[in-house]
Amino acid sequence: MATNGTAFQTPAADWTVPLWRDGQQIKAASSYDVISPLTDSKLFSAAAANVEECNAAVAAAEKAFPAWSKTKPGVRRDLLLAAADAMVQRKDELWYYCNKETASTEMYFAFDFSDALESLKSCAGLIASAGTLGFVPDMLAEDRSGMVVREPYGVVLSITPWNCPCILGLRGFLAPLAMGNTVVVKASERSPGAMHVLVDIFNKVGFPPGVLNTITHKPSDGPEIISTLVAHPSVRKINFTGSTAVGSIVASLAGKHLKPTLMELGGKAPAIVCEDADLQTAAVQCVVGAFLYSGQICMSTERILVNAKIADKFREVLAQTIEAIFPDKNGFVLIDKAPVARNSKLLQDAVGKGAKPLYGDILDKRELATAMRPVILEGIKEGMDLYHQESFGPTVSLFVVETDEEAIKIANDTDYGLASAVFTENLQRGLRIARQIETGAVHINSMSVHDETSLPHGGAKKSGYGRFNGEEGLKEWVRTKTITWRN
C-alpha cells in the first residue's frame, strides 16, 4: 500500500509485542502467539500480562494522574496534534499490522485510518471548548453564588476490540486522555501490534510517562485480567467497545464495584429501501454497508427491508452490485475460523426452517478456513436464529414489506439499536421514518456504517450507552463539581 509514511522494518517471527508501563516497553514473564487470519499461522508473539503486571499498570497511571490532570488544555491539544502528524508518518506501519493481524483490506483501512486521524484533530480542537468547561449558574438565593467545574475521573480502564484497530483502538484512550484522565488500555489479544504502534506514537511525541499504559494477555486469561482491572480501587471509569455478551459481563462487574461505564456494543442494523429510493444508490450503500470488512463491524447492515413494489428490480440490482464491488471469488477473510462456523450455523438453521438463498451458497467452502463468500437470505422469520442474532459476518437477511410501518416494525424488532439506514428521495419521509427507528443513529441515503468526528456516536437498547465523538464524547470523561459560597 503506497503512502507518504516513513519506511519501517517488518517484525521478525521471534519478536514479542511488549507491554507499555510508565513510559517504558516492558517484557512480560510469558507470551502467547498472535495468529494471522490471512494465513492461519503465527505472525509473532505478544506479552501475556499477569495480575501483578495489571496492578503495576494501574499504579503507573495513578501516579501520573495528579500532574496530567493539571496540565493545561493547550499543552494537551499540542500533544494530540503532534500525535496526528506522527500517525501520518507511520501509516505504512499501521497498515501492516491492521492487515496482518485482522485481515483489514485497503478499502477498510482507508476508512479506519482517516477516521482515526480526523478524530485526533477534532478532539484536539475541542479540548478547551465551552461544552467541556465549567459554568456559572444563576442562584435562587440572593446571598449565595456558585459555579460548576468539570474534573477528570482519574484512572480509566479502556477495553478495546480488534475489528477497527486505528479508530476503535485510538478511541479507547483519546477522549479520556484529552480531558485529563490517565489510561490503562487492555488491548485486544488479536491486534496487539496495531495498539503498540498507537501507544508508541503517543509516548514518543511527549505524553508523560504513566499517562498511557497497555495490557495484553493470553486469550484464556481474559476473564481474570478483566476482573482484576475492573475491581482495582484506583480504576474510576471503564470504557468498553465489543460484543453485547462480553459488555454485559463487564457492566455487571463494574456495577458490583459501583463504577460508571461507557458501552459501545453489538448491532443488527436495518436498511429500509422505500419504493421511491434511487435503487442504484441504495444497492451500493447496502452492499458496502453489509460487506465492508466482511461484515465484522458493529454498524454493518444485517437486514435489508425493501418495499414490495420495487423488490424484484432491487434483487437484481443488489446481486449485480455485489459482483461489481466484491468480485473476489476467494471470499472474505474473517478474523478466525469461529465466525465462519457461526455464520454457517446461522445460515443452515435458517434454510432448514424455510429461508431461501437470494445470493450466495450456504454450503460454500473456501480453501482458507477463515474465509467465506457473502450470502443473502430471504424468508427470515421469527424462530430462526438469524432473525434476532447478530451474525457479525457477511450474512444478510432481505425482507419484502408492503408499507413503511411494516418496515419500521421489523427494524425495531430486535434487542439491538446502534445504527440504521433509510433510502428515499423524499427527505420528509426519510426524517419521519428516522424518528421512529430505535437506534443511536439513522443515515438517510447513506450506509449504516458511518462515523463523523463532530457527531455523537453510540447505541440504544442492548447496543450500549454513553457517547463518543464531539463535545458529548469529551463530556463522558469529566464529572461536574458544584462549588457555592456566601456573598
Q: Position of cell 508523560? A: 208
Task: Enumerate domains of the chain plus CATH numbers.
Answer: 16-265+461-486 (3.40.605.10), 269-444 (3.40.309.10)
Identify the pLDDT of residue 133. 80
Identify the pLDDT of residue 2. 45
> Sign of the CA dihedral 439, 445, 450, 453?
negative
pTM of the model: 0.95
Catalytic residue among 264, 302, 390, 476: 264
Identify the pLDDT of residue 300. 98
- What does the DSSP assignment read for 112-151? HHHHHHHHHHHHHHHTTSGGGS-B-PPPSSTTEEEEEEEE
Per-residue pLDDT of the chain (487 residues; tens, 9 = 90+): 545 556 788 998 899 999 999 999 999 999 999 999 999 999 999 999 999 999 999 999 999 999 999 999 999 999 999 999 999 999 999 999 999 999 999 999 999 999 999 999 999 999 987 567 888 999 999 999 999 999 999 999 999 999 999 999 999 999 999 999 999 999 999 999 999 999 999 999 999 999 999 999 999 999 999 999 999 999 999 999 999 999 999 999 999 999 999 999 999 999 999 999 999 999 999 999 999 999 999 999 999 999 999 999 999 999 999 999 999 878 899 999 999 999 999 999 999 999 999 999 988 888 889 999 999 999 999 999 999 999 999 999 999 999 999 999 999 999 999 999 999 999 999 999 999 999 999 999 999 999 999 999 999 999 999 999 999 999 999 999 999 999 9
Residue 197 has which C-alpha cell?
504502534
Give the other-Cβ count within 10 Å of 348's Cβ. Answer: 15
Q: Pairing between strand 41-48 and 16-17? A: parallel
Q: Is 264 a catalytic residue?
A: yes
**Helix, strand, coil share (%) of the chain residues, nearest 5:** 40, 25, 35
Identify the pLDDT of residue 230. 98
Nearest Cα neighbor of 16 from 143, 139, 140, 196 is: 196
Identify the pLDDT of residue 6. 63
Phi, psi dihedrals of residue 287, rounded to the nearest 5°: -65, -50
For residue 26, the number of C-alpha atoms closer than 13 Å in the C-beta half-sphere is 24
